[in-house]
Amino acid sequence: DEWYTPRATCDVIAGWLAGAGGLSFDAPVLCPADLLPDGSESHMPQALMDRGFKNIRVTRDLPMDTLFADWHRGEVIVANPPFTLLVAFRKWLKITGAKYCVLSRPGTLNGWPVIETGGRFKCEKGRGVVAAWMQNIADTSIQIDESKALGDCANCERARCPPNHMTGDWTPGKPRKLYGWCNAVNHGINGCWCMAHTIKGKRNFTRFFHKDGAGL
């Protein structure tokens, strides 16, 4: 969560937003899940301000309710929120179309990864987590050697894709390379994924693929 995000990680994210992310220093930024009752804040708001961002607002609650969320339209959400809230947050993002840059578990958010931060982290207390900073601000995808693929939808034995928000409109049998988590993050492959790729009756672990426009 936000309170365990090292300052060094916050500095990298602030730098990415100002550089490759193309975010204006005047852009309104919301840092949710970030304010304790005593008024203390995490490293993220300070890292953003030190980088030059001028309009930083801090709140306690991650926006998840379309009627009562503490979010002003146009604010870019930057945070490391509790992972238990990410599914509800994803649904809220789909409705509002808000821009974000958020640390996420694999397969939770649909955006593109920030390549510079990688796909594994340690918090200030030394605990490790498999995750990536996902965002829908800039397409970070780069060319990948297809020999790194762990599968291809063209070879899937299923009659249809599972009915979920990632693959419900797709059909097995069409060529679509599938990659493991590390290669997906390192090559900016967006957060589209499938847990149902089946070969010889055996279903594989989560695989990630690129889908045009899926980060938006």
pLDDT digits (tens, 9 = 90+) for 106-145: 888 889 999 999 998 876 677 788 999 999 999 999 999 9
Closest CA to 69 of 91, 42, 47, 53: 91
Residue 129 forms beta bridges with which residues? 121
Q: How many H helices and E strands in the chain?
A: 4, 14
At 91, list the tokens.
Answer: 């649904």
At 56, list the tokens.
Answer: 């930083």
Q: Give the start-end residues of each E strand in the chain.
A: 28-31, 55-58, 76-79, 100-104, 112-113, 120-122, 128-130, 132-135, 151-152, 177-178, 192-194, 198-199, 202-203, 207-209
Over the stretch 45-100, which tens digit does the pLDDT of each residue have? 999 999 999 999 998 888 999 888 999 999 999 998 888 899 999 999 989 999 99
H or E element in which residue 186 lies? helix 181-186
- Contact yes or no for 121/131 (Cβ under 8 A): yes
Dist CA 14 CA 120 (whole Å): 18
